């Protein structure tokens, strides 16, 4: 696996699905893009609203790799999810935010991402 550094702030892994979405190589319906973060619908939605929020750069595979200087980035991902939940009209009823972490967490794509799910009662976890 070759990870290329395109600039001092942008790291891209050409083998990674979410990096390819970030660069536009794989199409997605982009619902947010502030240069640092991007959001798009999950291709296999598990709820009426199911968005994926990513950092556009391949900065960590999962929360398990997070370093102290990356906590603010994770906070900005949560803040974007909150904003999108409001925009989608699901904030008042509530929603679920999920970081799947590694194999036992059910993580399939090794590019850190946050799931925003809502639009109906989601029931208990698990
Ligand atoms: P996780 O299991 O937490 O790694 O979640 C990865 C998610 O990415 C899954 O829910 C997939 O349905 C979703 N996914 C995979 N490929 C794409 C794609 N090309 N566009 C949108 N979502 C995708
Ligand atoms: Zn990636």
Q: How do the pLDDT tens digits run along the chain, 126 residues long? A: 566 554 444 689 999 999 999 999 999 999 999 999 999 999 999 999 999 999 999 999 999 999 999 999 999 999 999 999 999 999 999 999 999 999 999 999 999 999 999 999 999 997
Topology of the domain comprising 4-118: HIT family, subunit A (3.30.428)
Candidate of 49, 60, 109, 125 to mutate for ligand 1, largest count of ligand atoms within 8 Å of Cβ: 109
Residue 12: Cβ within 10 Å count: 20
- Are the beta carbons of 17 and 28 closer than 8 angstroms? no
32: β partners: 39
Atom of ligand 1 at shortest distance to CA of 99? 3
Q: Which of 80, 96, 72, 9 is nearest to 40 (CA)?
A: 80
- Please indicate whether residue 108, judged by its CB atom, sits closer than 6 Å to ligand 1: yes
The set of residues, in sequence order, having a beta carbon less than 8 Å from that of 90 and lying 6+ positions away, is 49, 118, 119
Report the SS3 class of residue 84: helix
Task: Report the predicted TM-score, pTM, of the whole model to 2 decimal places.
Answer: 0.94
Q: What letter does residue 51 receive in the DSSP assignment?
A: E
CA 10 – CA 78 distance, rounded (Å): 20
């Amino acid at each position: 696996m070759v990870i290329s550094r395109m600039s001092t702030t942008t790291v891209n892994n050409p083998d990674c699905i979410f990096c390819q979405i970030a660069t536009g190589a794989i199409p997605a319906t982009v619902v947010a893009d502030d240069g640092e973060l991007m959001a798009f619908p999950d291709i296999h939605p598990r709820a009426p609203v199911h968005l994926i929020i990513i950092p556009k750069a391949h900065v960590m595979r999962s929360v398990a790799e997070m370093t102290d200087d990356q906590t603010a980035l994770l906070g900005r991902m949560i803040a974007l999810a909150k904003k999108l939940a409001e925009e989608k009209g699901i904030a008042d009823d509530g929603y679920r935010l999920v970081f799947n972490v590694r194999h036992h967490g059910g993580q399939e794509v090794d590019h850190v991402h946050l799931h925003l799910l809502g639009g109906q009662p989601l029931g208990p976890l698990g």
